Amino acid sequence: MGSRAQVPVEWASQEAVWMTWPTQERWWPGRRKEALEAFSTLAGAISQRECLRINCPKKYVGEVEAILSKAKCDLENVEFFPNETDDVWCRDSGGVFRINAGKLEVVDFRYNAWGGKFSPWNKDDALARHMAACADARDVRIDAIVCEGGALEMGEDGTLMTTESVLLNPNRNPGIPRGRIEEILLGAYGADRILWLKEGLFNDDTDGHIDNIARFAPNNTIVAAICGKANPSCGSLTANLQALRDARNKDGKPFNVVELPLPENVIISDGGDALPASYANWLVINGAVLMPTFGQPKSDEAAAEILKTLFKGRDIVGIDSRTFLFEGGAVHCLTQQQPELRKS
C-alpha cells in the first residue's frame, strides 16, 4: 500500500493504547464507584499486555495510581500525561495515529462533540494536538471537516468504512459535498476507497458510529452487527448487512462478511430506551481482543466465540461495559491505539 501516510489496521503491532481517566464528578453521576472500577478493569487488561497512556491532570495522578494499584494494574506499564479534557471518549476527541515515511503523525479532525450535543468541547478539540506532542508525533490538523475517530474504520486492503448519518450530517459538515468529504478522508487515512453505510444503532448519541455496527478483521473479513426484528436497530442493520454483502474489495472480490448478533436490549434506567450496546465495540491490542460484555452470559460467550475464530492467537478478554454504556459507549469508544514504528 506504498509509503504514503496511512493509518494502520487496528491489529497491527502497537506501542501503546491511550485512554482518558474520568476525573470529573459530573461524569457517571451517582455511579462513580462503578465507573472507576470499570475503568480500572479496562486499564488493567491493557497494561498487562502493553503500555497504557492516560490523559489525566497532574493533581489526580496520585489518586488514580492508588485506584489502579488496588485493581492489580501493572503501573510500570502506565504513563500519565496532563491533558485536560471535556469528556472521556478518547477514540472520538483524541488523535488518530498514522505512519508517514517511518514517522508518527496524528490526524487531528475538527471536533464538536457529536454535532454540538454536549457543551463545552474546546478542550476535547485540542486533545489530539496535545496527544501528538506527548507522543513526539507531528500534528496534522484538518479543519475542513468535523469527524470523530469512532466514525472511521480502516481495512487492510485500503478500504475505509463510515456512515452517511455521521459524516454527511448537517450537524457536522453542512453544505460540504460528499465528494469533498471523501477526498479529505482518503487523504487523512491513506485509504483508496470508501465503503459507506447509511445508519448506525438506535439511540446512539454519535448519530451512528461505524465502530458499533461494522468492523474489519484479518483475511478480507468484515464483521457486521445484526439483531432481531424486535430490536429498534433492525431496519438499519439489515440494510447495512446487504450493503456489506454487495461490497467488493480492491481486487473486485466480495468480503467475507461475518454476522455478530447484538446482545438483548440493555436498559439501565427504569422506563428508558434501549442503549446502543454492541459487541462490535471491541479493541484489538497486542495479544488480545478486549470485547465489551453486557451481563448476558449466553450472548456474551457467543460473541467471544465468533471473535476467537477471527483473531486467532489472541486472547478474547471480556470487559463488562454496562457502566460505560450508561454514558453512551464502550471499550473502543474509550481508547485509541498508537501503532509501533518499525525499527530500521
Residues acting as catalytic residues: 333
Using CA atoms, how far apart are residues 233 and 152, in angstroms rounded to an integer? 20
10 Å CB burial of residue 142 (0-12, 13-18, 19+) is middle
Q: Which of 283, 343, 339 lies closest to 135, judged by CA?
A: 339
Residues 6+ apart with CB under 8 A from 26: none
Residue 213 burial (10 A CB sphere; 0-12, 13-18, 19+): buried
- CA proximity to 335, closest of 38, 88, 13: 88
